[in-house]
Structure 1
């Protein structure tokens, strides 16, 4: 019995080590991809790619795809898919522009109505998937077509512009330099304090804790990276407000995924829906909540997009679902469900935005941009399938 228990402990520890190695490999691959993309486009654009102005623009582009990816990653982890986020974002952005331009509503009212509309549309998708048992592929494909049709109908196929100066605050404003620096230092201090508390709790219960040198090295790398980004952005105009919003939802999403019962239920459902149901998890309600959360985040992205464009366009959000899904898969999310991280999805969104930005600066034709992004999505899914087979 003692030998069997020791063998089980060894197997479980090996399983944990395998998972850690897989996560580290994925992180290293993504970092290597970002470095390669940065160097390639910098050389091809005579280093104008790395100017503070373009870095600021790149982060603003990432904010929209990143917020969409945060919602999408929970949907995919739960074992479902949402093909309607691009059309939904276009529709909600059009609604926000109409409320602002045609009706002249105050900005807070416009924001509340748009967010509520996104939540309702998410609930609509979730109700069909969770309670009517219609495959999510079909439900969201229908939504993609219907939402785009509604957008063209309510705008009469024309661009609704220009939005008010108040509306531009959402997507075109910047934080003052000292404010962004203070927020960055404050967030780093909170993170380091949380890490220390977490390590203390693990020691208390005799769990494995990383070495002091490893912890200090990791903290130093994170601190230098965050402060470098802030100084780069401050060198242009400051940290864009959409980047601050992306950071906020990144932290909230990570907390939900790793520290909440709701997050654990999502992973359990994606890993094994039958076992989750037998263990007492309300699968239908959880999936409905996931789609409602996704709809809310799509509404946030829609407000940023309309504010940044200064208009509501019938073509807004076209193929945005491809970028969101690709960002999740590149970030290590499994299309089979049950596996994925919020931070990985946001890093994947940064990679997709980097490709868009670099190819646009090189004047690459639009059709080639679609081909490249489609190829990357196929490659990422293939790598996920190959990794799953090895496991």
Structure 2
């Protein structure tokens, strides 16, 4: 079957939102710019810190993608990070419970908070904006009350490792080899499957280019991380969760139902999809991921504070939108959200290194968010025409 220019483009770039690829180019430009203005930016030490810093936003964005794709919003994740972080510190410091109990208790608390909000949205038909806006204030207030507005230190050595440890260089090399091997196997398996069922197959050179480019990124990442202390532990959280939720959103019935609900809720209802149950579940997952982010953040800071997670929901939403997730629902990817999170963190990190006052970070990130939404609306308007 002949390969047209359109099919070649589709083979080269896949189904991922074109804007996500555009953001990859923008990310490269941001790194080049900050590297030129401050050579410290591109050092292994700073890039390691940058990836560690993006872990919290990335974890929240992974959960936020499903919420936004389903046509909702979750403004409470930042406060859930703060409250569950406070719960972790209380369980560890005040009650002196083992690390495993602290972790399980924190995860359970996040899931329960998400369950309550999801139930109100799905079964009581209260708009998600209102429910989560209220949750944002309630959870922050509860945090201030239970901690008496005090900073609670966390000294458990196991918990400290979760946000501050680095994997040995040998582990990074093994991870890199496994990732490259998986890329090769996935590309081979995809070609064989398409050939078996008679679908169009991209030229071998195109697949080689794609795999080579991705392999180069993996190898470069491992090399840069190993040049400092090794791969930061929080990044492993991000990678594992990204893989799980990528599979969940693209390879499962649950994921297809979420996209169907966000794309056309009436059609989804007529198709027999249990919309209420699926809606409640996405908020449970969002709360669970927020509690994971809180463990990472609390470990990194070695304490829980009443300001922990403040404005984190805005960064997560911005990361999703910048990465191609539509606020109108029905479109968005986990990979795109991670790219958006890296863009947001790179801007924060770069402007901090340049010594710019903090208000510039809000101005720049807010402007980028508005532009990203404007592009989404413009693209959808062209599609309607």
Please name the residue that 2:369 is paired with: 377
Please name the residue that 1:349 is paired with: 341
SS, match of residue 289 in structure 1: helix
Please name the residue that 1:296 is paired with: 288
How far the C-alpha of 1:27 sits from its partner, in A, is: 3.4
* 1:44 and 2:30 are equivalent in the alignment: no
The one-character-per-residue Cα deviations of 1:307-351 (angstroms, maximum 9, x if unpaired) are 001100100111001100000000000000000000000110000
Q: Do 2:122 and 2:279's aligned partners in 1 also have CA atoms closer than 8 Å? A: yes
Structure 2 gaps of 5+ residues are 1-5
Please name the residue that 1:9 is paired with: none
Q: Do 1:97 and 1:163's aligned partners in 2 also have CA atoms closer than 8 Å? A: no
Partner Cα separation in structure 1 for residue 265 and residue 11 of structure 2: 24
Which residue, out of 270, 274, 285, partners 1:278?
270
Aligned length: 377
Partner Cα separation in structure 2 for residue 207 and residue 250 of structure 1: 28
Partner Cα separation in structure 2 for residue 146 and residue 52 of structure 1: 41
How far the C-alpha of 1:363 sits from its partner, in A, is: 2.1
Please name the residue that 2:320 is paired with: 328
* 1:91 and 2:83 are equivalent in the alignment: yes
Distance 1:226 1:17, change over 3 A: closer
1:192-203 pair list within 5 angstroms: 192-203=184-195
Partner Cα separation in structure 1 for residue 378 and residue 15 of structure 2: 13
* 1:187 and 2:213 are equivalent in the alignment: no
After TM superposition, the score normalised by the length of structure 1 is 0.93
Structure 1 gaps of 5+ residues are 1-12
Distance 1:218 1:20, change over 3 A: closer
Q: Do 1:333 and 1:340's aligned partners in 2 also have CA atoms closer than 8 Å? A: yes
18-27 vs 319-328, which deviates more?
A: 18-27
SS, match of residue 163 in structure 1: coil
Partner Cα separation in structure 1 for residue 250 and residue 203 of structure 2: 22
Q: Do 1:37 and 1:354's aligned partners in 2 also have CA atoms closer than 8 Å? A: yes
Please name the residue that 1:163 is paired with: 155
The ranges of structure 1 where at least 4 consecutive aligned residues each deviate by more than 6 angstroms after the TM superposition are: 18-22
Partner Cα separation in structure 1 for residue 374 and residue 27 of structure 2: 20
SS, match of residue 207 in structure 1: coil
How far the C-alpha of 1:191 sits from its partner, in A, is: 2.8
1:147-296 pair list within 5 angstroms: 147-296=139-288
The one-character-per-residue Cα deviations of 1:337-368 (angstroms, maximum 9, x if unpaired) are 00000000011000001011111112222222
Q: Name the Cα RMSD after superposition.
A: 1.7
Please name the residue that 1:35 is paired with: 28
Partner Cα separation in structure 1 for residue 147 and residue 303 of structure 2: 11
After TM superposition, the score normalised by the length of structure 2 is 0.95
Please name the residue that 2:93 is paired with: 101
